[in-house]
Amino acid sequence: MGIGGVGVSLLVRWLLGWLLCLRMPVLPVGTRKGTATVSVLIPARNEATTLPHLLSALKRQTMQPQEVIVIDDHSSDATAALARAAGVTVVQPPPLPPHWCGKTWALHHGVGASHGELLVFLDADTEPEPAFLESLVAAWEEVGGLVSVQPYHRTERPYEQLSVLFNLVGLMAVPLGRKVGVAFGPAMATSRADYERSGGHEAVADKVVEDWFLAHLYQQAGLPVSAWLGGERIAYRMYPGGLGDMVIGFDKNFATAAGEVRWPWMLGVLLWLSGLFWAAWCLPASLLGWPMVGERALLPNLVLYAAFALQMVVITRRVGRFGWINLVFPIPVLFFLGVFLLAILNLERGQVSWKGRTFRTR
């Protein structure tokens, strides 16, 4: 391929990045119209540092649920005590049986202990704004089935910025909006009747990424599955425990969700990633004389680098708090590739560890 061909190919990949991010709608602000009773269910394993923030945020909601239930997933810290002190119901399920994951076991028992007509599942590290719960319920009233929201990723420490590509690629690779067949586990809403019709968490007992598989069950039952971005409505800080936790967490998701990727969408993402990787390599290669294909002159490679850096700055704004890392995107590119290779090894090995437990990846 000549220089002109390389340039056209990279331009197509760059434009593809914009196209993939066109459909990333944010959960609309809505007002509840119905009167269905609402149960909020929160699975929590060693969440003593994050859970109080969520429970406090729930007390400030414009729409108050009938009940808030924290399911203590055999925590070794003060999770259960803090929940009781906050005045919410605490459920402690029996010991985890074989072929169940902790989260699915916890939520299965949480649903059994709840009374609401509408079930809202929230991860313990989510941070909802006061209008979130009402907007989520309003969206469910409009479309029905299973409704979910991917929170805005709030980062604080420098290592957290390395997660930018994981957040971005995960959203680029799926359709978002009404009736798209995609679900995000951190924040979901469904009627009890539809939950039981789908088979619920018992039907996805051994799935680490239970949201993906639960979405499939709803579709198989003829129920709509919708998903939005959280935007200003709900955020979370994914891995405050350090770089090691972040590597294991993304490795777990890669290894267990690999077979569920929608390949027509993922093909577009891979083409865009190849352009990003190319730009990440070519600028230092042209400066340092490394091997490369295409134009070796500094100026065109600098323009290429700047184009992808600008794109990263713009398209990540709705996804999370990622700033300076977009300007040095070869760093998160290397991190992404490293975790991806680790996930492949774990996929071959057939298991991955998370929060003191070992899960099968097959």
Question: Is the domain of 226 the same as that of 285?
Answer: no
| pLDDT tens-digit map of 139-170 | 999 999 999 999 999 999 999 999 999 999 88
42 and 177 belong to one structural domain = yes
- Looking at the structure, tell me whether residues 82 and 160 fall in a common domain: yes
Is 207 found in the same domain as 288? no
Measured CA to CA in angstroms, residue 244 lies from 145, 249, 272, 355 at distances of 36, 9, 28, 12
- The whole-number pLDDT of residue 51 equals 97
Q: Is residue 255 part of a domain?
A: no
Residue 3 is predicted with a pLDDT of 47
The pLDDT of residue 257 is 57
- Clarify whether residues 90 and 204 are in a common domain: yes
What is the arithmetic mean of pLDDT over 265-291?
A: 90
Asked, for residue 248, whether it belongs to a domain, the answer is no
Confirm if 146 and 226 have CB atoms less than 8 A apart.
yes
Asked if 293 contacts 7 with a C-beta cutoff of 8 angstroms, the reply is no
Same domain, 235 and 308: no
- Quick check: is 194 in a domain? yes
Rg of the Cα trace of the chain? 21
CATH number at residue 91: 3.90.550.10
Residues 6+ apart with CB under 8 A from 109: 71, 91, 93, 94
- Whole-prediction pTM: 0.90
155 and 12 in one domain?
Answer: no
pLDDT of residue 276: 96
Q: Is residue 181 part of a domain?
A: yes
Q: Determine, yes or no, domain membership for 155.
A: yes
Please say which residue of 240, 269, 287 terminates a domain.
240
Q: Regarding predicted confidence, which is higher, 256 or 311?
A: 311
**pLDDT value of position 6:** 79
**How is residue 156 written in tokens?**
């604080």
DSSP code for 69: E
Looking at the structure, do residues 300 and 217 belong to the same domain, yes or no?
Answer: no
Average pLDDT over residues 207-234: 95
Distance between CA 133 and CA 16 in Å, rounded?
34
Of 211, 240, 269, which one is at a domain's C-terminal end?
240
* pLDDT over 60 at 178, yes or no: yes
DSSP letters for 7-63: HHHHHHHHHHHHHHTS--PBPPP----S---EEEEEEESS-TTTHHHHHHHHHT-SS
Q: Same structural domain for residues 12 and 116?
A: no
**Which structural domain range is residue 224 located in?**
38-240
Closest-CA residue to 70 (of 49, 88, 82, 52): 88
Digit-coded pLDDT (tens) for 123-145? 999 999 999 999 999 999 999 99
Residue ending a domain, among 195, 212, 240, is 240
Give me the number of domains the chain comprises: 2
Examine residue 48 and state whether it is found in any structural domain, yes or no. Answer: yes
Q: With bands split at pLDDT 50, 70 and 90, how would you rate the model's confidence at 356? A: low
Domain identity same for 137 and 55: yes
Mean per-residue pLDDT over the chain, rounded: 91
Does 32 map to a domain?
no
Which residues, other chains included, contact 302 with Cβ-Cβ below 8 Å and sequence gap of 6+? 283
Query: 171 and 60, same structural domain?
Result: yes
Does the residue 147 lie in any domain?
yes
pLDDT of residue 216: 95
Tokens 């995609």 sit at which residue?
Answer: 182
- Average pLDDT in the 328-357 region? 79
Cα separations in angstroms, 139 against 29, 39, 149, 152, 189:
9, 16, 10, 18, 9
